[in-house]
Amino acid sequence: MLKRFLPGPAAALAAALALSACATAPVATRPQQASVAPASAPASAPAVPGIVSAADPRAAAAGVEILRKGGSATDAAIATMLALNVVEPQNSGVGGGTFFVRSDAKGALTTIDGRETAPATAGPGWFLGADGKPLPPGELMVGGKSAGVPGSVATIAMAHARFGKLPWADVFAPAIRLAREGFTVSARMHNGLDLYGRHVEGWAKRVYFPDGVNPVAQGTTLRMPELADTLERIAREGPSAFYGARSAQRIATALSKAERSPSPITAQDVSRYTAKERDPVCGTYRMYRICGMGPPSSGGITVLMILKQLERFDMAKLGRNSPVAWHLVAESERLAYADRDLYIADPAFVQVPVAGLLAPDYLAARSALIDPQHTLGTIEPGHPQGAPERARAPYKDDPGTSDLAVADGSSEVVSATTTINGYFGSGVAVDGYMLNNELPDFDAAPARNGYLVVNRVEGGKRPRSSMAPTIVYDPAGKVRLVIGAAGGSTIICQVAKALIGVIDWKLSAQDAIAMGLVFAPGSPGGAIEQGSELVPLLPQLQALGETLKVAPLGLKANAVEYVGGRWVGAADPRSEGVAMDTAGTITIIERRTNELNGAHE
């Protein structure tokens, strides 16, 4: 089924709402190519329509509205992010953090780090109990001490100052309208509250659980006047409305008086926050240039490591249905994650051997450990140049985060991943938005085997992230693909898998995203995505020594790709996401569900 929307915000939003109602369509037995059809473009549209792919159709419509008004990809990305705060508050918002990757038509890259920071008083014992041992996950992930200083508002302010075309207030308008006038509660939001949102407190408890027990019903029109007021203040006054004394004190008070695990965070911690421009991390895979975020994100480095360790194998010849191909992917993931866990953290606090980890000779040596016919019994981190010996910590998973991809008519592109970490973050709410629970992304135990862990808690430090907003250039240097994902530590593997799908197996971005996943971040073991086309390969993988288990995985990716002289969107069939362009085309995706009731990503 195809849908077209006419120029103008009201019509675009109506189409988006109709699409949202399709989110519970029958399950596809196999990933399928999205259906797209061109519509008559408005007279003012550029020759190549701009496009937005996002995890919720209302948010994608907000971005398209801004593109149609002459906004840049940066403007549209900001509008999309703000709208996600309204309609998908369980995953992202101004109370969290963002990594922002932007490229112009000539390939000039900018990457902005808006990762949250720990309060100044945070230290090695932040997540330790009275017995000196790490607190259990149920205590780590909720309450005041789980929250870091939010960075998303500083990120979008920096991006807009550099690359925005429309006035700052204009990019807030769609989100303010959604919050003020109301939006329809989706199945994903309702189920997310029911399964993972019962820790919310304050106004969030009153709004999301109106009778005190049951989550707001699917199909309800939900209005968020407090959030609308907050967004209007930021639109009117700029980022100082968020980081200035009044708002900073309200954030600090909410966290210091949280019902669970109150935090010693101060207003000064909030007001001192700054987003940082970072050097991008780039490398090549089969003549394609792949660029993403550097530390404190581990995403860019680890995606490149997985791909480069596979480059000596003929993945194209093996094909997507080969158990050997997926065994190779699993082994490369294990090697890359071993190094990620040991070496990558906030570069302001530790020496991260980026060049050593991506050195061709080092990756060739790591790749040589991979045997197509056998699984390694144990996998240890390597010793890249410039890396001292450190203690490796186990990976942690969390279900939150949202991603978006945008291209405008002038070929400016943005991939942004934005998050409050777990579902509804810390559960602490202030002024209409949820505050993140990012600090458990630090390693709770500060030392192992006599060595300090690089990702230990320290005051002012940014926790390591798996977020991997990525831009891919073709051999001629033109943007070919803009992609990112949500889903905790699976993000890296989702992006790497999709790139293999597009580059080696010549899949569309839509089919590459929809393809099943093997997730193997540690040794031994890992998971094959439950319900995917890869499950029948399990006996053959076991014959190669793999000990993978079939399990549900929370996956959610978005992408736009340049093919046939136009931008084509892709969105994850496991989510409510869509892609839509300024010419009126909306990508319709046959949805897939899992036992997590569509609430987990």
pLDDT in tens, 112-156: 999 999 999 999 999 999 998 999 988 999 999 999 999 999 999
Q: How confident is the model at residue 393 (pLDDT cuts 50, 70, 90)?
A: low
Tell me, what amino acid is at 540?
Q
Number of neighbouring beta carbons within 10 Å of residue 219: 11
* Count of beta carbons in the 10 Å neighbourhood of residue 147: 33
180: Cα separation from own chain's centroid: 26
Sequence-separated (6 or more) residues with CB below 8 Å from residue 417: 98, 99, 299, 401, 402, 403, 467, 468, 469, 484, 485, 486, 491
Catalytic-role residue among 155, 401, 418, 490: 401
Residue 176 is given by DSSP the state H
Token code pair at residue 229: 């007021």
Paired tokens of 463: 């926790």
Query: Is 401 known to be catalytic?
Result: yes
Question: What's residue 136's pLDDT?
Answer: 92
Q: How far apart are CA 134 and CA 394, in angstroms?
A: 13
Residue 131, classified by CB atoms within 10 Å of its CB into exposed (0-12), middle (13-18) or buried (19+), is exposed
Q: Kindly report, residue by residue over 427-474, the tens digit of the pLDDT.
A: 999 999 999 999 999 999 988 777 889 999 999 999 999 999 999 999
For residue 34, what is the DSSP state? P
Tens digits of residue pLDDT in 238-291: 999 999 999 999 999 999 999 999 999 999 999 999 999 999 999 999 999 999
52 contacts 372 by C-beta, under 8 angstroms = no
CATH numbers and ranges of domains, the chain: 9-277+396-517+553-581 (3.60.20.40)
Q: Please count the other Cβ atoms lying within 10 Å of the Cβ belonging to residue 468.
A: 31
Question: How do 221-222 and 276-278 pair as beta strands?
Answer: unpaired
Give the Cα separation of 182 and 176 in Å (integer).
Answer: 10
What is the distance between the alpha carbons of residues 126 and 145, in angstroms, rounded to a whole number? 8
For the four alpha carbons of 223, 226, 227 and 231, in that order, the dihedral sign comes to positive
